[in-house]
Chain A
Amino acid sequence: MGDPIEIRVPSDPAYLDWIHAISKALLDLLPLDRRKKHYTLVAISEGFTNAHIHGNQGLEGRSIGLSYMIDENFLRVDIEDEGILPIQNNIDELVRPVDNEMESGRGLGLIRKLMDESQIRFNPKRGNVLTMKIFYEVESKEKQSNMEVADGNHA
């Protein structure tokens, strides 16, 4: 794995457009199909939004760092905030139960379903770090199973 591509932007939703454009340009260079590219863009957007709202608590003056690591088999994206308190180290414990009427709280669950691997860890020097991986060719069994369920629901 080579050096990561790292960027840091103010913790501000106005930068979502910027992050979307940069991420899309990078994803277009990778051997991912259109669905995986789209899902990765959604997951990155979720990660950024989560870092802004929950990690940085929407406070001015904080920033969000994104790191794109390109492996020969997968893309790894790390999104770190400047949260003082750890959100939680286990992403599964943060995923809320499904309630169709809720207006927020779907982000981490969506990341879990869209990406092949995801985890959150707390680094005392950096804040909360969300790590997500998407593999170029082989989907995980869990992910394939999710897609089969989705296809079945669609029919």
Chain B
Amino acid sequence: MEITPNEHEGYTVLHLKGRLDLNSSSKLKEQIKNYLKEGTIRLILDMNDVDFINSSGLGTLVSILKDVRMVKGRMVLCNLAQYVQEIFEITQLSHIFDMYPTEEEAAASMSHSMANVK
């Protein structure tokens, strides 16, 4: 799993690449924990290059979402590949994650929620 951060005003986009499974998900969780510790609590996970996710990866994302909520942050997902999105739908996790078709839409949503907080 490759994780490339791209920082913006008020939020950070993490571009993920590879498979999200038992072998790789701890790296993602560790990196996001560090962001949250540093005060970066608004995150967009760009899943464009994630071609595979299983229940371990899903569980990790749920765990991260809980961590983000604990610090009153926000995390959204974008650019999910068709079959990856289907796994979210089959497990009904599409109900608890905010998911957007593009990074631009995810960013607009993040900016909108920041404006509401102000």
CB within 8 Å of B: which residues of A?
13-14, 16-17, 20, 34-35, 38-39, 41-42, 45-46, 49, 52-53, 98, 100-107, 109-110, 113-114, 146, 150, 153-154
Q: Given that A103-B62, A107-B55, A109-B91 are known contacts, is A45 also in contact with B21, CB under 8 Å in the complex? A: yes
Give min CB distance, A9 to chain B, whole Å.
13
B115 at the interface (CB under 8 A from A): no
Q: Are B63 and A103 in contact (CB under 8 A)?
A: yes
In angstroms, Cα B93 to Cα A127, docked, is: 32
Which residues of chain A are near B91, meaning CB under 8 Å? Answer: 98, 106, 109-110
Name the segment of B31-39, B40-48, B82-90 touching the other chain: B82-90
B1-43 vs A, CB cutoff 8 Å, 1 = contact: the mask equals 0000000000000000001011100000000000000000000
Shortest Cβ distance from A38 into B: residue: B83
B100 at the interface (CB under 8 A from A): no
Which residues of chain A are near B89, meaning CB under 8 Å? Answer: 150, 153-154
Q: Which B29-87 residues sit within 8 Å CB-CB of chain A?
A: 52-56, 58-60, 62-63, 66, 83, 86-87
Q: Are B21 and A16 in contact (CB under 8 A)?
A: yes
Which residues of chain A are near B62, meaning CB under 8 Å? Answer: 100-103
Q: Are B90 and A100 in contact (CB under 8 A)?
A: no
Q: Are B22 and A16 in contact (CB under 8 A)?
A: yes
In angstroms, Cα B94 to Cα A29, docked, is: 32
Which residues of chain B are near A106, meaning CB under 8 Å? Answer: 55, 58-59, 91
Ranked nearest first, the 3 interchain pairs of A and B with the lowest CB-CB distance are A106-B55, A103-B59, A38-B83
Give min CB distance, A127 to chain B, whole Å.
19
B112 at the interface (CB under 8 A from A): no
Q: Are A113 and B90 in contact (CB under 8 A)?
A: yes
Which residues of chain A are near B23, meaning CB under 8 Å? Answer: 13-14, 16-17
What are 16 A-B contacts with C-beta separation under 8 Å?
Answer: A13-B23, A16-B23, A34-B83, A38-B52, A41-B52, A42-B53, A46-B54, A46-B55, A49-B55, A98-B91, A101-B62, A103-B63, A104-B56, A106-B55, A110-B87, A113-B90
